[in-house]
Copies of this chain bind each other. A is one copy, B any other.
Amino acid sequence: MAPAEVMTFDTELSQCIEDCLACQRVCLETLTYCLGKGGRHAEAKHLRLLMDCAEICQTSANFMLRGSELHSRTCFACSEVCGRCAESCARLGEDRLLKACADMCARCSESCWRMGGGVMPQTPNPEAAQRAANLPA
């Protein structure tokens, strides 16, 4: 038994917890890396997304670890933030660390999307509705 796994969750939930924890970690590591590198890597929007992603991943993992019945809500928010963070990292190109972060964010986004029940935002606001319609199923 790995030291950090004392409980048994169902497989999908368990995978989502792993993904959120791994994503939180890689986002903070990438933040440290980008701060040190400066330039395009340290643009406000990118750094903010890394902070956002690390924080919602942590919150989302904590909801699942606490066995909260409301974890689908935090997972859904997490899915969207991870998706944006993945794009932001991917745009920075071929850098090995950024690529690892983009991959992990994309994986976590997918994992949280399933856990969030594929909840899809709908709103009387037609612009937002359009954006939602354009989201992958």
For the side of the interface on A, what is the size category? 35 or more
A7 touches B33 (CB 8 A): yes
Task: Name the B residues within 8 Å of A73 (CB-CB).
Answer: 56, 76-77, 80-81
B31 touches A21 (CB 8 A): no
A32 touches B66 (CB 8 A): yes
B55 touches A26 (CB 8 A): no
20 new A-B contacts, CB < 8 A, other than A6-B100, A32-B65, A118-B128, are: A3-B104, A4-B21, A4-B104, A5-B29, A6-B26, A6-B29, A7-B32, A7-B33, A21-B21, A28-B65, A35-B44, A36-B44, A48-B67, A48-B68, A70-B81, A74-B81, A76-B77, A117-B128, A119-B123, A120-B132
Binding site for B on A (CB under 8 A): 1-7, 21-23, 25-26, 28-33, 35-36, 38, 42, 44, 47-49, 51-52, 54-56, 58-59, 61-63, 65-68, 70, 73-74, 76-77, 80-81, 84, 96-97, 100-101, 103-104, 107, 113, 117-125, 127-133, 135, 137
A-B contact pairs, 28 of them (CB 8 A): A3-B22, A3-B26, A3-B100, A4-B21, A4-B22, A5-B29, A6-B30, A6-B33, A7-B32, A25-B61, A32-B48, A32-B66, A36-B44, A47-B47, A48-B66, A48-B68, A49-B68, A58-B58, A70-B80, A70-B84, A74-B77, A80-B121, A118-B123, A120-B128, A120-B129, A120-B132, A121-B121, A122-B122
